[in-house]
Structure 1
Amino acid sequence: MILTNCAACAAPLAHTAPRCVRCHTRYCNKTCQMDHWRRGHKQMCKKIHRGGNAEQYHADKKYKEAVAVAVEKCADDTKGQTCYICTQSLHWKTKEGLVRGCACRGTAGFAHVSCLAEQAKILVAEAEENNLGFKVLNERWARWSTCGLCEQRYHGVVSGALGWACWKTYVGRPETDEVLRMAMNLLGNGLYTAGHYEDALSVRAAQLSTYQRSGASAEDILAVQSNLANTYAALGRLEKALSMERDIYYGRLKLNGEEHRQTLVVALNYASSLVQLQHFEEAKSLMRKTTPVARRVLGAGHDHTLRMRTVYAVALSLDSGATLDDLREAATSLAETKRTAQRLLGGAHPIVVAIEQALGGARATLSARETPSSSPPSESV
């Protein structure tokens, strides 16, 4: 389901593509399969099969790689600390080091990815085994992506590692299984947050195909399309993203109404693409309409509300027709937004970094406009 390219020639595959009988590696046709067998698959086939077949083997391998990257990235921050779950510095079984990718401060929030994954796995399993219902399952599922201490979402490479941890845990389930769908979504989000946009695009395209094939609801399909559009935007394919986001926004308005959380999320994505393509008036109009709704529904400190305020201010400051009052409003709004975000999320959070960059740009533009250029005095005749 994630391995959607031929193992021999890398061509895109249908979900019904032929596969190796033993390890389930997929190919375009028998010619590609025989070619891959001669080029080394013969030596790997049994190993892949013992590892749970192609999808599971691939997920386990990518998980180990992602954990190693996350541990290295967090090494300076985690030096001398211990896991708040198992209380050890090195994981007793995997020997992996510590990570921290949330808003915890001081000595809080350090953990092994394996410990975070096991904690989430146990909570979800209890909800399933005891038939506690979707609401409880959804609440417990949040532990795959949210710190249990500061209750903020993991970001960066830690989010990516947890995405692979989640996917390798549930990859063997049927396509129609709700938890498998949630795991595929979490993996796509984790790869996106970690900056692996090409991989995220592949996962999200596979997810959309899976949802359409298995009869998912209009709500779920819109959600996947929204994530796919975000990824196109991150890859610089802005016209493709904007076209999708316009349709998704109006689809959400029709399906859910203006106060629904997902309507607000896709409005933000739509506005971001409008700004990138320099459609500033349309972006400002959309943010003026939706930001007050986000404050009321999500709260002033919610990350989507903070990002909406940022997008509006950026649209104000970048517009070539902006007045001095517009530029002052943009700089003031970004400074207030930064203080709020820094207090809630910590200074290293990507949202705070993005706001800080936008604030620097707005202040520079304002300063240039407020200070008239000086010309050299003319020579006396």
Structure 2
Amino acid sequence: MILTTCAACAAPLAHNAPRCVRCKLRYCNATCQHDHWRRGHKQMCKKIHRGGNAEQYNADKKYKEAVAEAVEACADDTKGQTCYICTQALHWKTKEGLVRMCACRGTAGFAHVSCLAEQAKILMDEAEANNLDWDARNARFWRWHACGLCEQQYHGLVYCALGWGCWKTYLGRPETDQIRSMAMNQLGNGLLEADHHEDACSVQEAQLSTLRHFTDTEMSENNILAMQNNLAATYGNLGRYEDALRMQRDVHSGRLKLLGAEHNRTMSAATNYAMTLKRLGHFEEARSVLRKTIPVARRVLGESHIFTLQMKSVYAEALCADHSATLDDLREGVTTLEETEPTARRVLGGAHPLVGTIESDLRNAKALLRARAGSA
């Protein structure tokens, strides 16, 4: 359940917390349930039930709010454009506006969130109807969080809106269902992208608890590692860096053991681990992790892959942020960022968060190098 707190007192709920018989809203105990009924739930209970019960009603409401927020944020970029899927400016059913969601050029970069969600749902329905294997299903599920044209992952408020769209589509499935678990993961990542860190943490902790409760196969071990990786990122955004570091160390070790050093997920785990090491001031340890991983990324993924770009960016930061850095270290950091920035801009587009981070780090690194060289 994504409604992880009591509707009456907002306290965290147990997995088997009591529910309203009609609308399935959850409470700590009968006292909270009776109190909430007296304070107005009596008037809302039937409406929530007609909306598919508490979880579905909440997800539908949150989806509409997230879509409106994404459309408003993209309004300047989408003026005079039409959806590349339905070719309309306003969605025929929801009347929502357009979003700008990826690195596509020309008119292909504009769409309605509802059109993107419908495309993803159709692809997954076909995969299940045709009983495709999990590799094929995972490839199709990718459309819930990445563009089918340029293949770039969505970011920010658009990702968040699609996260709610994905969750509202699959939440009615059993808790043991793999697609439901993937949808919950999609929602947690979307909330994280939109900087709703507390909400993301609640969703991810609920999912990790569910995975540990219901699954015990090698596939579920991979799923648990993925969930731990996402939750560690959320802990970092909440300032819980030591918690994040412990979890990322376990994830990196687990990925190496299960998948090997050349797998995308292992390289991503190494990057996340190094980022938290850097954040906690363990600069040499962060550089050590990346010195082993960057050559692998270059060989397997290429210089233009987002993982390679991220690793080089973090490595440069770990060089320049270290108070014991030498002039040669600073020069290496500046050179690395100078090499990375134009590639990142060309591949990801100027609006991508990583590009902004690299540009900011490059300005700061150059200023630091000038100051240190001038005082030498």
Q: Same fold (TM over 0.5)?
A: yes
Task: Give the Cα separation in 2 of the matches to 1:136 and 1:221.
Answer: 21
Q: 1:35 Cα shift? A: 0.5
Aligned to 1:343: 346
Identity of aligned residues (%): 69
SS of structure 1 residue aligned to 2:252? helix
In the aligned structure 2, how far is the partner of 1:371 from the partner of 1:221? 50
Are 1:224 and 2:231 counterparts? no
Structure 2 residue aligned with 1:260? 263
User: Partner residue of 2:15?
Assistant: 15
Aligned to 2:85: 85
Q: 1:34: which partner in 2? A: 34
Distance 1:188 1:300 in 2: 29
Q: Which amino acid aligns with 1:34?
A: H
Write the mapping of 1:60-71 to structure 2, written as runs, cut at 5 A: 60-71=60-71
**1:69 Cα shift?**
0.2
Shift in Å at residue 230 of structure 1?
0.8
What is the aligned length?
Answer: 373
How does 1:230-249 map onto structure 2 within 5 Å?
Answer: 230-249=233-252
Matched with 2:213 is: 213
Alignment of structure 1 residues 361-376 onto 2, 5 Å: 361-372=364-375
- Structure 1: which 5+ runs fail to align? 374-381
In structure 2, the partner of 1:194 is: 194
- Give the letter aligned to residue 138 of structure 2: N
Q: Is the aligned partner of 1:317 residue 2:320? A: yes
Q: How many Å separate the matches in 2 of 1:3 and 1:264? A: 33
Aligned partner of 2:291 among 288, 291, 313: 288
The 5 Å alignment of 1:95-244 reads 95-216=95-216, 217-244=220-247
What secondary structure is seen at the aligned counterpart in 2 of 1:126?
helix
Could you tell me which amino acid in structure 1 is paired with residue 304 of structure 2? Answer: G
Aligned-pair CA distance for 1:108? 2.2
Tell me how far 1:321 sits from its aligned partner: 1.4
- 1:372 deviation in Å? 2.8
Question: Within 5 A, what are the aligned runs for 1:329-340?
Answer: 329-340=332-343
Deviation of 1:132 (Å): 2.0
Query: What is the distance in 2 between the residues matched to 1:327 and 1:317?
Result: 5
Deviation digits for residues 223-253 of structure 1 (CA, Å, limit 9, x no counterpart): 1111111110011111111121112222222
CA shift for structure 1 position 213: 1.2
Tell me the distance in 2 between the aligned counterparts of 1:262 and 1:143.
Answer: 18
Q: In angstroms, what is the RMSD of aligned CA positions?
A: 1.1
Give secondary structure in 2 for the equivalent of 1:142: helix
Q: Distance in 1 between matches of 2:85 and 2:369?
A: 48
Match for residue 301 of structure 2? 298
Report runs of 4+ in structure 1 exceeding 6 Å deviation: none
State the shift of 1:257 in Å. 2.2
Kindly provide the amino acid, as one letter, of the partner of residue 97 in structure 1.
G
Secondary structure of the residue aligned to 1:333 is: helix
Shift of 1:356: 0.9
Partner deviation per Cα, 1:41-77 (whole Å, 9 max, x = no partner): 1111000000000110000000000000000000000
Q: CA deviation at 1:300?
A: 1.8
Q: Secondary structure at the residue paired with 1:8? A: coil
Tell me, in whole angstroms, the C-alpha distance in 2 between the residues paired with 1:255 and 1:345: 30
- Could you say what secondary structure the match of 2:84 adopts? coil
1:319 is displaced (CA, Å) by 0.9
Q: What SS does the corresponding residue of 2:198 show, helix, strand or coil?
A: helix
Corresponding residue number in structure 2 for 1:274: 277
Structure 1 Cα separation of the partners of residues 31 and 171 of structure 2:
28
- Deviation for aligned residue 1:142: 1.1
How far has the Cα of 1:260 moved from its partner? 2.1
| Separation (CA, whole Å) in 1 of partners of 2:163 and 2:15 | 22
* 8 Å Cα contact 2:85-2:115 kept in structure 1: yes
Query: Does the alignment pair 1:354 with 2:343?
Result: no
> Which ranges in structure 2 are unaligned for 5 or more consecutive residues?
none
Tell me by how many angstroms 1:256 deviates: 2.3
Query: Which residue does the alignment assign to 1:379?
Result: none
Quick one: which amino acid aligns to residue 86 of structure 1?
C
Between structure 1 and structure 2, the one with the greater Rg is 1
Normalising by structure 2, we get a TM-score of: 0.97
Q: Please give the secondary structure, in 1, of the residue aligned with 2:310.
A: helix
Q: Which amino acid aligns with 1:286?
A: V
Question: For the residues of structure 2 that align with 1:298 and 1:163, how far apart are their CA atoms?
Answer: 27
Q: Greater shift after overlay, 75-84 or 96-105?
A: 96-105
1:339 & 1:213 partners in 2: Cα distance? Answer: 46
Cα distance in 2 for partners of 1:220, 1:148 equals 24
